[in-house]
Structure 1
Amino acid sequence: MSGQSSKPTVGALPDTTVESPFVPVVLTWLVWSLFTASVAVLIARVRFDGVWEIPGLVAIDGLTVLMWVVVTFFSGIVHSYSRRYMAGSTHKTRFFIAVFGFTVTVMALVAADHVALFGFLWMAMGLVMAELIGVIEGWKQAQAAKTVARKYFLASSVLLGVALTALWWTTGATTISGISAATDTLGGPVWLLAAGILVLAAMIQSALIPFHTWLLTSMTAPTPASALMHAGFVNAGGILLVRFAQVITVNSTLMLAVVAVGAASACGGKLLKSVQTDIKGKLGCSTVGQMGFMIMQAGLGFFGAAITHLILHGFYKAYQFLSSGEQIEHKSPSETTEHTIGDMTSAVGFVVALLTGLAGGVVFTVLTGKGAHVDSGLLLTFFVVFTTLHAARSAVQHTSLPTLVRYVAVPLVFFPAIIIYAVVYEGVSDLLAVSTATTELTLLHGIIAVSFVGVYVAIETGIHEHSQRLYVALLNVTQPSSNTLLNSPEDYNEY
């Protein structure tokens, strides 16, 4: 009726006066204190080299202190953001306790040296994240998503337990540092089983294809929990491979397999993202692809690049999730609606992006030395060129500036960014003290490079959209478990 409007409701607002904000305030203050302390420890670690340890139990090295800074920073952002986001929720205290518990668990995990302690904390980390996914007890969909995630995380924990047991059996060492020091004794079927299972556990935790279902099912989690998950939790796969780098690099064939599974997920994530229509779905598929890149860099032997990637991706994805509400826009379909992802009509724009990418690769090679020889470093540099080209192309297409200004501004913006990336990469590599394990280029490396170019061109030109069979297949692969879908406004009522 004209002049009148109605607003559907999904339940009464809770009485926020019955619950004190004491717990969120204290935990937020505490996690920022942990961040400050972590920065101080990082500075001390840079100045005073070496490993601080409790022999046989804990070893605090460069990776430990770096991850402490990263994890506490992201957690601090999530804590601060959630004080407003979760205001009025009956599950606020439980949510904050779970987020803080997750933070402390990850901090302990990256410091653990004893294999039993590492395995226990790995499982605890997964179980706490499952609790965050299902933190809204009144939603059956959230509880179903929690169950799905917990099954995957327990499977990853069991696999990790088998791998750690096999490595202990082979080397006789009960610590990660002891196993790394005994790589000369590694070999044979037991080692191969352990190394393969380590990779499998990392794939599950990082939601690589075909284990990405738990990630796309987890959208029932509160947005801050999703930010923490995509910026932190999924990085555990990369951290696992870096921790056991000496085990993974024993055999070049195994490293090639790691590159292959990472590349498959990187390409697949890009394709899956192209059929998504909701913001969080797109971000989830993007994470699947980015984790593929991270695992692939580890397989190429550049563990510093893998850690650098997970840090930068964490900043990007945390921002994207926490600002996802600003990207919601209502549009009505029309006969003139364009369905192609990109536009290749601007030849000048493409040339500018291509030259920017190539020049970026040269800058990266000069600063890091990677790509100067015919080995796996050449493929790493190729991905720097490819990523720069793609980002420059997007900037040329979507930046609301005059055409000529865009063509000049894009190189001026991206060259400093590549320099910063190269400097961060070198700094992270020095801090990790993990030797680079470059391998010879093979036919598979060439196939991977060609595949990336093919997928990029297909999406940019919209060729993939002309195949209904491909579209349906991609859409089916991205479907979460049916019992986790929210189908009506009443499903959103947590009260």
Structure 2
Amino acid sequence: MTDETQSTTVGAEPSEAADATPFAPAVLTRLVWALWVASVGVLGMRFLSGSTAPWQAFGAVTVDGLTVLLWIVVTFFSGIIHSYSCRYMAGDSGLTRFFTRIFGFTVAVMVLAAADHAALFVGAWLAMGLVMADLVGHVRGWSQAQAAAGLARRYFVGSSALVGTALAVLWWQTGATTVSGIAAATSSLSGPSVFLAGSALVLAAAIQSALLPFHTWLLSSMTAPTPASALMHAGFVNAGGILLLRFAPVVTIEPSVMLAIVLLGTISALGGKLLKSVQTDVKRRLGCSTVGQMGFMLMQAGLGFFGAAITHLVLHGFYKAYKFLSAGSRVERAAPSAAAERDSLGLVGVAVAAVSAVAGGAVFVVTTGKGGEFDTGLLLTLIVVVSTMHAARTTLGQGDLPVAARLAAIPLVLLPAVALYGLVYNAIRTVLSGLPIVTAATTLTPVHGLVAVAFVSSYVAIDTGVYRRSRRLYVALLNASRSPTTTMTTSTEDYNEY
């Protein structure tokens, strides 16, 4: 605190009535879990019917594999966050408003997942963004929160305008007013209209998923209550991948659009990792991690593996929801101490990491069927190999663990994790089998070669620590991750009620 003479004000003791569980949180929590049970039931009905054909109603709604998958995932995450918030948000003056917003967000995502009519799709996309912006500015008397909400709102309205523009162009060219109708009429699209609509969809996805250089709204959104941040990072930012899968028949027509997705994703995947390295705040580190993870997700879509992108967003959702809801456990008071010495086991460690990387790539190819041909699947396999090597080197470098434990962790944890990803991918690909396009691998180009070089170079720079020696890079990363001044929470007196 800057004012050491500031007096402490203690509020009145809460009454028994104030401690009573409010009506809205209890009811909405039960309702969202009921929606999850119903979603699982719908999946069971589709499985028992043995048909992958979508169910359509009123010319505006379509329930297909992607719809059911998203319903199950979003209601599960929302149920966890509703239940968690019952205690976390207890005593908040806007408790009912908070629960109404997170439930409304859940409904908006469910509508988006099932929307087939273009107007309904754009309306759900806009509603989803506006509700999330309101959650970012949940604390009404906090000027930084309101500034962050305003910034997020502008980004989301811009994203919605891009989606609306793309659908208007597609309607003008095809005469179709539904997403499924547009997918069925892509053969009538011309070059300029495809490029315009595809570019608008890619930019909308990049904004919603907070890819560089549109990441500012995400790093400014830390004013949101932690449960809202968990919902944002586990669900909201995933909408970019969902958008590209829904309009895969459009974005895959023009190769330059797919290459643009790969480049945007690569820049964010690597840039998010570097931005994370200069953060000291727990939630901002998680935010930068999300920028990188969403970049990798969209890069998978750009390589033509839309099913892999959906698999990534589901797994990332579980991981990031847990990390945000447990963020408080990372805050502790401790004296500075020397970092644990890294012991990478010398040449033995290098050999073990190399063998592990090759084994990880082999497991990936066997379980997913990707990477066996000379196409973009080969690049994805290379990234898995590099990631496995990095994980193996990190594990082997944990000097505070016995050597036997470090060596055992690779066959017992690391490689099974790659296999588990493959199994989850196959299951999700089966659920999505009724969609027009789930996989559209393309031939490799020099641009893909540059992406491969970038990933390998970044691995070498991070593993050797070379990137830490540049003060210019450090300052550039700090500037790139700097939020607008009006949203910065650097003075605790601005929001500490005591």
TM-score, normalization by structure 1: 0.94
Counterparts in 2 of 1:86 and 1:398: CA distance versus 1, 3 Å: farther
Give the structure 1 partner of residue 26 of structure 2: 25
> Residues 337 and 402 of structure 1: is their aligned pair in 2 closer, same or farther, counting only changes over 3 Å?
closer
Q: Counterpart amino acid of 2:200?
A: I
Aligned to 1:330: 333
Q: Give me the whole-angstrom Cα distance separating, in 2, the residues matched to 1:454 and 1:388.
A: 15
Q: Is 1:204 the equivalent of 2:203?
A: no
State the SS of the aligned residue for 2:114.
coil
Secondary structure of the structure 1 residue equivalent to 2:92: coil
Deviation of 1:399 after TM superposition, in Å, equals: 8.1
Q: Does 1:113 align with 2:112?
A: no
Within the candidate set 246, 249, 270, 2:249 is matched to: 246
Equivalent residue for 2:380?
380
Letter in 2 for 1:367: T
Matches of 1:59 and 1:96, distance apart in 2: 28
Q: Does 1:297 align with 2:296?
A: no
CA distance in 2, matches of 1:344, 1:407: 11
Per-residue deviation, 1:93: 1.1
1:130–1:150: 8 Å Cα contact kept in structure 2?
A: yes
The 1:226–1:201 alpha-carbon spacing in structure 2 relative to 1, beyond 3 Å, is: same
| 3-state SS of 1:421 partner | helix
Q: Which residue in 1 is equivalent to 2:362?
A: 362
**1:162-241 correspondence to structure 2 within 5 Å:** 162-241=165-244
CA shift in 2, pair 1:343/1:406, >3 Å: closer
Structure 1 residue 92 displacement after superposition? 1.1
The structural deviation recorded for 1:196 is 0.5
- Between the aligned partners of 1:146 and 1:14, the Cα distance in structure 2 is 32
Segments of structure 1 that go 5 or more residues without pairing to the other structure are none
2:425 is matched with which residue?
A: 425
Find 2:57's aligned residue among 54, 59, 67: 54
Name the residue aligned to 1:38: 39
Query: Within 2, Cα distance between the matches of 1:242 and 1:225?
Result: 25
Match of 2:482 in 1: 479
Which has the higher mean CA deviation after the structures are superposed, 144-153 or 18-27?
18-27
Asked if the contact 1:227/1:317 (under 8 Å) is kept, the reply is: yes
1:37 is displaced (CA, Å) by 1.0
Residue 404 of structure 1 pairs with residue 404 of structure 2? yes
Alignment partner of 1:110: what SS? helix
Q: Deviations over 1:384-412 (max 9, x none)?
A: 22222223333333485311222023222
1:261-285: CA deviation from partner (whole Å, max 9, x where unpaired) = 1111101111111111111111000
Q: Quick check: 254-263 or 104-113, which moved more?
A: 254-263
1:447: which partner in 2?
Answer: 450
Moved more, 65-74 or 403-412: 403-412
Question: For residues 142-161 of structure 1, what are the structure 2 equivalents within 5 Å?
Answer: 142-161=145-164
Q: Is the 2:126–2:160 contact (alpha carbons within 8 Å) kept by the matching residues of 1? A: yes
Q: How many angstroms apart in 1 are the aligned matches of 2:117 and 2:11?
A: 50
CA 1:266/1:430 → structure 2, altered by over 3 Å: closer, same or farther? same
Cα distance in 2 between the residues matched to 1:47 and 1:359: 37
- Counting aligned pairs with the same residue, the percent is 60
Query: Residues 8 and 88 (structure 1 numbering): CA distance in 2 closer, same or farther, change over 3 Å?
Result: farther
Amino acid at match of 2:492: P
Q: Give the direction of change, closer, same or farther, for the CA distance of 1:47–1:357 in structure 2 (3 Å limit).
A: farther
Match of 1:267 in 2: 270
| Counterparts of 1:480 and 1:313, CA distance in 2 | 24
Q: Distance in 2 between matches of 1:125 and 1:253?
A: 29
Moved over 6 A (4+): 5-8
Q: Distance in 2 between matches of 1:250 and 1:162?
A: 18
SS in 1 for 2:422: helix
Structure 1 residue 461, shift from structure 2 partner: 1.9
1:99 is matched with: 102
- Secondary structure of 1:268's counterpart equals helix
Conservation of the 8 A alpha-carbon contact between 1:271 and 1:455: no
Distance 1:24 1:9, change over 3 A: farther
